[in-house]
A and B are shown apart, each in its own frame.
Chain A
């Protein structure tokens, strides 16, 4: 898909001109949604989305129920609507794809005004749009209410392989450093008089990325040597050892979202 064509992450700043802070999308509030353990939130959202993805066209009113449910949780988390709307822009390329579906899909055609559209494509596009929107909304809910550190602890609690957690945690720690490196190189190029755009610019940019790799690689080696010097013996300390243990009550609270979604689906199927 043309997701590659969009600037990713936080849609507000210009690509590459900002530092990617991993807590940049977190919105500090004192709500029950924020306090839930990340592992519970993650599992609840994934199971909720599995219910959403499994919903067929026949049970279409269920999508309204899911949307209402998510809006309720977003309201509980006290996330401002404009912010949520702005972060939903990640979805744009897929909106385009969903809008194209009625024109390219097969099956019986229906006439809408001067256009002859595929009936399956219309229905399918609408369902796709609903599912993708709910998915993005769930993702925005997760990143806006969970700190990156807690997410890492959550991944560890969910038994993601330890090297993966370690790689992710180094990524979270050094993202700011490496993107700052990239920005400094760009500023240095500009201060030496390199302006304009086009392919020549791209060549210098790529050379910059090349030296960024060398810098990152050497930094990785230095960090590893420094860790060895401090007694690292091949095992990262557990991230979650100091964090508060989660209670069954919290897991139950988180589980209400997918469970309610399941009920919504069952009701919609019965009524259909």
Chain B
């Protein structure tokens, strides 16, 4: 997956660089407290661990072998924000210190493996762990699912980037099928290894696995005779609404960057579906939708032609969607408050 120089054009490389920088900035912000408390050595050693774990090879068939990306693994072990930082540093070090992955493609590589693989892997694992019974074993199954999905997700993200700024016209359907198909196979290996590693850690130190912390029984303080006592001071609570806000913030900033930056580049290119449609010859049969006359039609502001308009239209679209989502959330919160439920929304 380490993309070399020249695979994507310069604007796309710069746009992915901006996405990577934004994601790293957000991760620094979100994990700042954690980093101060646990210390940067911990993050550094986790990065070395990911680096070392990537040396474990597994057979993929046809005489070749794959190796771990470790995005989902790191997210499950130390949490998504620290994992984004660790993976980004690993990729930076691989690019600069080992000439692995192009220098101009560093942003692309961080976006694919350090952001998409980590966040998708973590979100899938969290979703799975939420529906499974609260046992440490569930965390292992969730890790496998997260790791499995993270690999084709990163491959799919590559296809999207290639559709925007690919150097050579390749039928996107073929490319997507080949990339995702191949990486589904690699994903199985990733899932097996990730589950085995997480299983080994859960068996010995479940408290170290970030994803497993919620399924651990709460700490019970006992006095000298072994009688349980009530904890004094602030009891450690689970993740509050701040966690939800963080997810929303990253989603929003990535959307804004993609909408603003990438739609600028996309304006000269038909988008993926249109591209496939044209190559398959059904583009003429599609009709413009009912809102084709609206000011945001075809992702360009009618009163502001050109690339700037496309970027602005993208951003305005995202902001509108976000405002709508906020409205729904606040209505739900008010509804819940009226019914006497706690003033909190679980996303």
Q: A5-B64, A53-B104, A166-B44 are in contact. Are A151 and B99 (CB under 8 A)?
A: no
- Nearest 6 interchain pairs by C-beta: A170-B44, A210-B200, A131-B6, A135-B5, A139-B99, A124-B168
In the complex, the answer to whether A5 meets B47 with C-beta atoms within 8 Å is: no
Stretch at the interface among B130-138, B169-177, B264-272: B169-177
A211's nearest neighbour on chain B, judged by CB, is: B200
In the complex, the answer to whether B5 meets A132 with C-beta atoms within 8 Å is: yes
Q: What is the 8 Å Cβ interface bit string for chain A, positions 220-256, against chain B (1 contact, 0 not)?
A: 1101100110000010100000000000000000000
What is the bound-complex CA distance between A210 and B202, given in angstroms? 9
B193's nearest neighbour on chain A, judged by CB, is: A206
In the complex, the answer to whether A205 meets B56 with C-beta atoms within 8 Å is: yes
Q: Which chain A residues have a beta carbon within 8 Å of chain B's beta carbons? A: 1-5, 7-10, 15-16, 20, 22, 25, 42, 45-46, 49-50, 52-54, 87, 90-91, 94, 101, 104-107, 120-121, 124-125, 127-128, 130-132, 134-136, 138-140, 142-143, 148, 151, 155, 161, 163-164, 166-175, 177-179, 182, 202-203, 205-207, 209-214, 216-217, 219-221, 223-224, 227-228, 234, 236
Would you mind naming 5 contact pairs between A and B with Cβ atoms under 8 Å apart?
A: A15-B55, A132-B5, A171-B44, A175-B48, A224-B39
In the complex, the answer to whether A53 meets B10 with C-beta atoms within 8 Å is: yes
Residues in B neighbouring A121, C-beta threshold 8 A: 168, 170
Q: A128-B6, A168-B89, A206-B193 are in contact. Are A4 and B45 (CB under 8 A)?
A: no
Q: What is the 8 Å Cβ interface bit string for chain B, positions 67-110, against chain A (1 contact, 0 not)?
A: 10100000001000000011011101111111111111100000
Residues in B neighbouring A166, C-beta threshold 8 A: 40, 44
In the complex, the answer to whether B40 meets A170 with C-beta atoms within 8 Å is: yes
In the complex, the answer to whether A9 meets B98 with C-beta atoms within 8 Å is: yes
Q: A8-B98, A223-B45 are in contact. Are A104 and B170 (CB under 8 A)?
A: yes
Residue B123 lies at the interface, judged by CB distance under 8 Å to chain A: no
B6's nearest neighbour on chain A, judged by CB, is: A131
A161's nearest neighbour on chain B, judged by CB, is: B28
In the assembled complex, how far is the CB of residue A24 from the closest CB belonging to chain B, in whole angstroms? 9
Which B residues, 18 to 42, have Cβ-Cβ distances below 8 Å to chain A? Answer: 24-25, 28, 32, 35-36, 38-42
B151's nearest neighbour on chain A, judged by CB, is: A4
In the complex, the answer to whether B49 meets A8 with C-beta atoms within 8 Å is: no
In the complex, the answer to whether B171 meets A220 with C-beta atoms within 8 Å is: no
Partner of A139, one of B48, B95, B182, B205: B95
Residues in B neighbouring A3, C-beta threshold 8 A: 1-3, 101
In the complex, the answer to whether B169 meets A107 with C-beta atoms within 8 Å is: yes
Residues in B neighbouring A53, C-beta threshold 8 A: 5-6, 9-10, 13, 104
Residues in A neighbouring B170, C-beta threshold 8 A: 101, 104-106, 121
> How many residues of chain B are within 8 Å of chain A by beta carbon?
85
Q: A223-B45, A224-B39 are in contact. Are A175 and B51 (CB under 8 A)?
A: yes
In the complex, the answer to whether A216 meets B103 with C-beta atoms within 8 Å is: no
Q: A1-B3, A128-B7 are in contact. Are A167 and B54 (CB under 8 A)?
A: no
Q: A171-B47, A210-B196 are in contact. Are A220 and B6 (CB under 8 A)?
A: no
In the complex, the answer to whether A135 meets B168 with C-beta atoms within 8 Å is: no
Q: A16-B55, A209-B53 are in contact. Are A220 and B97 (CB under 8 A)?
A: no
In the complex, the answer to whether A42 meets B193 with C-beta atoms within 8 Å is: no
Q: A174-B45, A220-B39 are in contact. Are A131 and B28 (CB under 8 A)?
A: no
Residue B244 lies at the interface, judged by CB distance under 8 Å to chain A: no
Q: A120-B169, A127-B6 are in contact. Are A5 and B200 (CB under 8 A)?
A: no
Residues in B neighbouring A205, C-beta threshold 8 A: 56
In the assembled complex, how far is the CB of residue B60 from the closest CB belonging to chain A, in whole angstroms? 7
Residues in B neighbouring A202, C-beta threshold 8 A: 58, 192-193, 196
In the assembled complex, how far is the CB of residue B38 from the closest CB belonging to chain A, in whole angstroms? 7
In the complex, the answer to whether B86 meets A209 with C-beta atoms within 8 Å is: no
Partner of B10, one of A22, A54, A104, A139: A54
In the complex, the answer to whether A214 meets B45 with C-beta atoms within 8 Å is: no
Residues in A neighbouring B3, C-beta threshold 8 A: 1, 3
In the complex, the answer to whether B104 meets A15 with C-beta atoms within 8 Å is: no
In the complex, the answer to whether B104 meets A167 with C-beta atoms within 8 Å is: no
In the complex, the answer to whether A220 meets B167 with C-beta atoms within 8 Å is: no
In the complex, the answer to whether B60 meets A5 with C-beta atoms within 8 Å is: yes
Partner of A143, one of B40, B97, B208: B97
In the complex, the answer to whether B174 meets A50 with C-beta atoms within 8 Å is: no
Residues in A neighbouring B205, C-beta threshold 8 A: 214, 217
Residue B198 lies at the interface, judged by CB distance under 8 Å to chain A: yes
Residues in B neighbouring A161, C-beta threshold 8 A: 24-25, 28
In the complex, the answer to whether A178 meets B45 with C-beta atoms within 8 Å is: yes
Residue B180 lies at the interface, judged by CB distance under 8 Å to chain A: no
In the complex, the answer to whether A224 meets B53 with C-beta atoms within 8 Å is: no
Q: A211-B200, A212-B53, A220-B44 are in contact. Are A106 and B171 (CB under 8 A)?
A: yes
Residue B66 lies at the interface, judged by CB distance under 8 Å to chain A: yes
Residues in B neighbouring A52, C-beta threshold 8 A: 5-6
Q: A4-B1, A49-B5, A167-B85 are in contact. Are A87 and B99 (CB under 8 A)?
A: yes
Residue B57 lies at the interface, judged by CB distance under 8 Å to chain A: yes
A205's nearest neighbour on chain B, judged by CB, is: B56
Beyond A3-B3, A220-B42, A228-B39, 14 additional contacts (C-beta under 8 Å) are A3-B101, A50-B10, A106-B171, A128-B7, A131-B6, A131-B167, A138-B103, A164-B85, A171-B44, A178-B45, A209-B52, A209-B200, A216-B48, A223-B41
In the assembled complex, how far is the CB of residue B275 from the closest CB belonging to chain A, in whole angstroms? 10
In the complex, the answer to whether B52 meets A206 with C-beta atoms within 8 Å is: no
Partner of A1, one of B2, B57, B103, B169: B2
